[in-house]
Each structure stands twice: as structure tokens, then as C-alpha cells.
Chains A and B, each alone.
Chain A
Amino acid sequence: MLEIRGLAAGAGEAEILRGIDLTVRAGEVHAIMGPNGSGKSTLAQVIAGHPAYSVTGGTITLDGRDLLDLEPEERAQAGVFLAFQYPVEIPGVTNAYFLRAAYNALRKARGEEELDPIDFLDLLESRLKLVGWGPEIMQRAVNSGFSGGEKKRNEILQMAVLEPRLAVLDETDSGLDIDALRIVADGVNALRAPDRATIVVTHYQRLLNFIIPDFVHVLVDGQIVKSGGKELALELEARGYEWLTGVPETSKA
């Protein structure tokens, strides 16, 4: 489903990703782990088309379609969803308005009719349950004044409504307490399906206790240095990243 071949990317002069190869098949959950500065967040953002990064080599295809040729909104319309590490606050625009605009933009791209506010509310109800929220949240401005945990939950809510083919979670666990972590993980697990795939980018193994990955990849200095099953995450938890990087983690930026 997702094929990444020889991907190289950077920001300005800095080279961050140096030849990434990754294959994700439908139904799979892949965890991308690595020390700070390894490029794992960059990989997540490059898949979604973040404007701060330029791709200098390689390809990314989703269902055979070249993503690198597409604008971020076209990638979303092709089925990509990025759960942001730092979701953006949009004061003045309600969650309800924003989510419906996004949902309808995707429908429109598929040639389907837009959903009116009433029908959309019905759809929302079940998705809100998934993240343990009542309808009040929909009248609040998008992420505006939200706590860190609320912002991450809101990302999961958006994912649940937009039902992407490929969900990429960029350090969604950072800054979450155990209860929030569980809610986020429950949301992700509920959306696992044979025709969808998930990439979980994380620094810690903790999240992977709740979202069990099929594959774990370790990224160091912009390259995947080791891949394995879920037991690799446990090994990293026990031994740290040092045995893979050759450098004590504390000395890395």
C-alpha cells in the first residue's frame, strides 16, 4: 500500500533523511522509533507534505500513486492523515465547522455529495464516543485553549471522522498522562481495519503497550538501522538506543 524507496529529504541545507526504504501493507501497524533528532518526525511530516521540508531523492507511493507530486490536501484526499505532534490552534473556527469542512472536502474530492450539518452531527456522535467526548467540544474553537491531552484527542477524533487509508501518528504520545494515552490508543485501535494502515512515530515504547505494532523500525541519523517485530520495542525499552547508535543518548541533540 505505502512504498517508500530511497527517500532523502532535508530542511534548508540540513540533510535529515538519508535513504529510507519502507513498505507498509494494508492492515498493518508500523512503529517508527529512534532517538531525538533521528528524523522520525521528519519522515511523518514528509509523507503528509510539510512545506518546511524538501525531498531531494527517492519516492513515496500510496496505492501506486506518487505522493510527492501532490499538494498536502491532495495527499489527504488520497487517504493520508497526519496526527500532528503540535496541533495548530484556530481560534474563531469551531471544531464542528472545521471537521465538517474537512469531511466534505474529502467527499467532494471523491465525487460524493457534501453532508449537511444535521447528517454530519449523526456521524459525529459515534466518533465522539470513541474519544470519550460529549457534543460540547464541537462548539469550541479548534484546539484553542485545549490542554496538551485534549489536542491529541482532537487529532484522534479528526482521524476517526476522516477515516484515512494511511494514518501517521507523529509522537502522539508525547506529553500525555496514562489516561490520555489510553484514550488515544483506544481510538487508534478502534480504527484498525484490514484495508487501513497505521504508522506510529514514537520515542518511547510506552504507547506500544497499548497499540501493538506488527513491525518496529529504528531510525538513526536518517536511516532505518534495524527492523523487527514488536519485541524490538521491548528490547529498546530495556537497552536504550545506545547499542544501535554507538553514542550515549544524552550526548545527542
Chain B
Amino acid sequence: MAHRGAGDLQGVNEIYAEAFARFTNNGGGQGPSILVDRRRAAFDRFAQTGFPTIKNEDWRFTPVTPIAQGRWKFGSAAVRQWDSGAEGRSLQALAPFRLGGPDWCTLVFVDGVFNAEASHRPPLPDGVTVEPFGEALRRHPELLERVFAQVATSDVTPFAALNAALAGDGAVIRVAAGVELGTPIHLLYAMTDQARDAAFHTRTILIAERGARAQLIESYAGIGEPETRSFNNVVTEVVLGEGSWVEHSRIQRESVAAFHIGLTSVRQARDSHYRSFSLAAGGAIARHDLQARLDGENVETLLYGLYLGAGDQLVDNHTTIFHDQPNCRSWEVYKGILDGKSHAVFNGKVFVKPEAQKTDAKQTNRNLLLSETAKVDTKPQLEIFADDVKCTHGATVGRIDEIAYFYLQSRGIPRAAAQRMLTYAFAAEVVDEVASTPVREALDRLVRARLGTAD
């Protein structure tokens, strides 16, 4: 899938080789030797492929040249340590990005580094651990050994390989067999002004063991100047044991000048239920790959997405569902709202293996254009090798119906307000699918604020 990045590969090699060497020398490669080996292999992989180019089908609409040619500062060492007491920056700056109540476990990462002071860690039930990388390496290295770069393997994208090589911090969450975690876990990855021209590689790992139940929210937020340009390359690995239930929400609202590249890889054992909600609102270039492997019978996978583009934003969602086993169901609805000169890309792949009989897969992508200049490239891609399956897909790109406008206007609501209300209505249909009430309410508030229908 990776492509050789033409002429500048040499430059990429040097810069990143140096970054990798510095990362390793500074103790970034700590941990079991197997992890050190994996990082080395991942880096070799990246060095071999370089960044993808638009000649690569999977990156056709998403030129990453500004990322590839960026002269980024790497790792926490490059960024002055965030001082929560320093002028203009304080814990207060994080307040609008916190979610939920005091019973929620919240790990905060500031400019790619875990921040204990800003985090909130109430007691968790037995069998549940929520740890930043450093802690997990010391106390539960076996979890990292089991999962790190094993679900999101380095051949998925060059960015995944780069993350595996350079991931210096992140979170490792484990919910033991049979444990139901009632309150959500929130991971807040915040970028401050200090993030300017810096590159970050954080990694999140969630393991829900047999029969476990968990709700995870990952937030990526720009909390500094709105024009702060940074490069955030993140990877999330989710493992669902037999009969487990996971709701995974992802909120990306980085600065409009930021580059955000994310990969979420999910592996599901039999009888498990995974539902995700992905909100993409920030970034100059925001790309999220979501891949779910249905690795057992009777698996259910629900993927909901909402992306909001404005200005010159490019927002790209690539989803891949691997129906590897029979009797599984996947259901996917992604919706986009595009204003200004924004450009959205949606690609939804569904692969159904010959043995995956009785697969039930439905994919929907709907886009609402609010301007004449916004555009959408949407592509469903179903590859079905089993004969007894039910697979459907549909994609639409449209504008707000004039009759709907008229209905609201005839009640005295001005056209601009009617547009906001109808746009929110369009978005609410996916937000409403979030199962956890407090999470849904938090997301709803966020979407309302963004679309101007806050009350």
C-alpha cells in the first residue's frame, strides 16, 4: 500500500533517522526487548516506504506533501515542558475540553506528554487499569507486548509505522474479563501553542477482555492559538474479547492549521459488540483510518461518523471492515457537513471473505453542502467473496431542501437560523446513535456549539 515518496525520500530518511536515533538514545525505546525490536522494524518499514503520495490510491485525494516536507521538531524533548502555571497557559485552558463528571477517569496529555496534574484518576473497579505509557511499561509490560503494533500493524500505512517507531507516550487501558466499567474513560490529547511546528506520535491501547464492558472517549484538541500548526500522528489499537462490549468515541478538534493523521485498528473476537462514533471538526488536513477486523462469529460492528469542514479544511475518512467470519453484522453511517472551500473524502471498504456467509453489512455516507465551493469525493468499495450475504451501500451529496427552509421560515425563523437548525438536525441523526447517555449529551453539546444551535 505504501508508495515511494519520489525525490524527497532521501531527505525524509535523514530527518526521520535522526529523530528515531534521538528518540532511542533518550530512552524512548525502553521496555521489553520485543518492543524495541518492533520499533526498529517499524522504522525500517517507514524508511523503506517514505510518506504516501497521491499516486497511491488510498491517498489519492489527500496530498500529505505539507506533512512530508515539514521540518518538524520531534518528541517531548523538542517541546518546552508545558508549565501549567505559566502566564497565559493554565489548567483553565483545558476546562472547555473536559467531559463528564468527577466519576470519569480522565488522562490528559499535553503536547504529547502525560500530565498527572491535569489528569483525574478516581478509583477504578478491580481488574481495570488506565495507565499512561510510562506506568504501563513498568507495571504491565505484558499488555504492550500483546498489543503494541500487533493490531495496527506497520504495513497498514506508513504513518502507522512511523508512529510505532516514535510513540513515546499514550495510554494503555485494560478491562478484565467480566468487568463492566460503568463510567466512561476520557483520554484528552491537548496541543498548546508550544506544539507549533512539532510532531507528535501518541498511541492508545484498549483491551476489553471476555465479557467486559467499557466506554472510551479519545479527544484530540487544539487548546492554543487557533492557527497553531502541528503534526499529530496517532494510532489506537482496540482488542475486544469474546462477548465484550465497547463504545469508542473519538473527538478530533485540533487547530484549523494542524495536520492530524489517525489510525484506529480494532480486532473483535466472537460475540463482541463494538460501536464507534468519530467526530472530525479540526485540522487543515485531517485523516482518520478506521479498520475493524471481525475475527469471530456473531460479531457486531457499528461505525458512526460525523465530519464538519469549513474554510480550506480537508477531512478524509477511510474505513475498512474485514468480514472474516460468518454470521456477523456491520452497520456504518458517516455524515459530512461541508462549508466554505472544504473538501471531504470518504472511502468505505468492506471485504467479505469466502467463509463469511450470512454477512449483513450496510454502509451509508451522506453529505450536506452548505456552499457552492465545498466538495466531496465519496467511494464505497465492497469486495464480496461469499455468496450468501446481504451487503448494501449508498452515498449522497446534497443541499438543504428548499421546502424544509420554507417550513421553518414560514414559522418566523430567519433563513440563517433555519440553516443552522436543519444542519444540526442532519448531524443529530448520527449523534443520537451514541449509546452512553452522558457521552451522547457531551457530544451533542459540542456539535450544537459548533453548528451554532447551542441553547
Contact = CB atoms under 8 A, between A and B. Distances in A.
A195 to B, nearest CB: 18
B421 A90 contact: yes
B421 A98 contact: yes
Interface string A202-225: 000000000000000000000000
Nearest to A109: B412
10 contacts: A73-B409, A90-B404, A90-B421, A90-B425, A92-B424, A92-B426, A92-B429, A93-B424, A98-B421, A105-B413
B254 to A, nearest CB: 26
A101 interface: yes
Query: Which of B409, B422, B426 is the most central at the interface, judged by chain A CB atoms within 10 Å of its CB?
Result: B409
Interface in A57-116: 71-73, 75-77, 80-82, 84, 87-88, 90-93, 97-98, 101-102, 105-106, 109
Interface string A46-58: 0011111000000
Contacts of A73: 409-415, 418
A71 B425 CA distance: 23
Query: Which of B412, B426, B431, B432 is the most central at the interface, judged by chain A CB atoms within 10 Å of its CB?
Result: B412
Contact of A92 (B403, B404, B413, B428): B428
B402 A48 contact: no
Given A91-B429, A93-B421, A93-B424, A48 B412 contact: no
Interface in B146-178: none
Given A101-B421, A105-B417, A48 B429 contact: no
Nearest to B414: A73
A158 interface: yes
B406 A51 contact: yes
Contacts of B414: 73, 105
Given A73-B413, A73-B418, A162-B411, 9 more contacts: A48-B410, A72-B406, A82-B410, A88-B404, A90-B422, A91-B428, A93-B424, A102-B411, A109-B412
B410 to A, nearest CB: 5
B455 A97 contact: yes
Query: Which of B401, B414, B422, B429 is the most central at the interface, judged by chain A CB atoms within 10 Å of its CB?
Result: B414
Secondary structure at the B interface, as helix, strand, loop or mixed, is helix
B425 A92 contact: yes
A102 B404 contact: no
B407 interface: yes
A97 B413 CA distance: 12
Given A88-B404, A97-B455, A98-B421, A105 B426 contact: no
Nearest to A102: B411
A165 to B, nearest CB: 12
Contact of A72 (B409, B424, B429): B409
A117 to B, nearest CB: 8
Interface in A182-235: none
A101 B403 contact: no
A181 B408 CA distance: 24
A105 B407 contact: no
B429 A87 contact: no
Nearest to B425: A92
Nearest to A100: B455
B427 interface: yes
A101 B404 contact: no
A90 B407 CA distance: 10
Contacts of B427: 92
A83 B440 CA distance: 34
Interface in A154-178: 158, 162
A99 B424 CA distance: 16
Contacts of B424: 92-93
Interface of A: 48-52, 71-73, 75-77, 80-82, 84, 87-88, 90-93, 97-98, 101-102, 105-106, 109, 117, 141, 158, 162
A50 B413 CA distance: 14
Contact of A76 (B412, B426, B429, B455): B412
A162 B412 contact: yes
B418 to A, nearest CB: 8
B432 A101 contact: no
Nearest to A168: B410
A81 B413 CA distance: 12
A96 to B, nearest CB: 10
Contact of A102 (B405, B412, B422, B431): B412
A58 to B, nearest CB: 21
A141 B432 CA distance: 12
A174 B408 CA distance: 22
A91 B421 CA distance: 11
A88 B429 contact: no
Query: Which of A72, A80, A88 is the most central at the interface, judged by chain B CB atoms within 10 Å of its CB?
Result: A72
B411 A76 contact: yes
Contacts of A117: 455
Contacts of A81: 410-411
A8 to B, nearest CB: 21
Interface string B422-455: 1011111101100000000000000000000001
8 tightest A-B CB contacts, nearest first: A92-B428, A76-B412, A72-B409, A102-B411, A92-B425, A88-B407, A105-B412, A73-B409
Interface string B301-334: 0000000000000000000000000000000000
A105 B422 CA distance: 16
Contacts of A50: 406
B230 to A, nearest CB: 33
B415 A158 contact: no
B155 to A, nearest CB: 40
A145 to B, nearest CB: 12
B407 A92 contact: no
Query: Which of A50, A82, A101 is the most central at the interface, judged by chain B CB atoms within 10 Å of its CB?
Result: A101
Contact of B425 (A52, A93, A106): A93
Given A92-B426, A98-B421, A101-B421, A71 B415 contact: yes
Nearest to A89: B404
B109 to A, nearest CB: 33
B157 to A, nearest CB: 34
Contacts of A158: 411
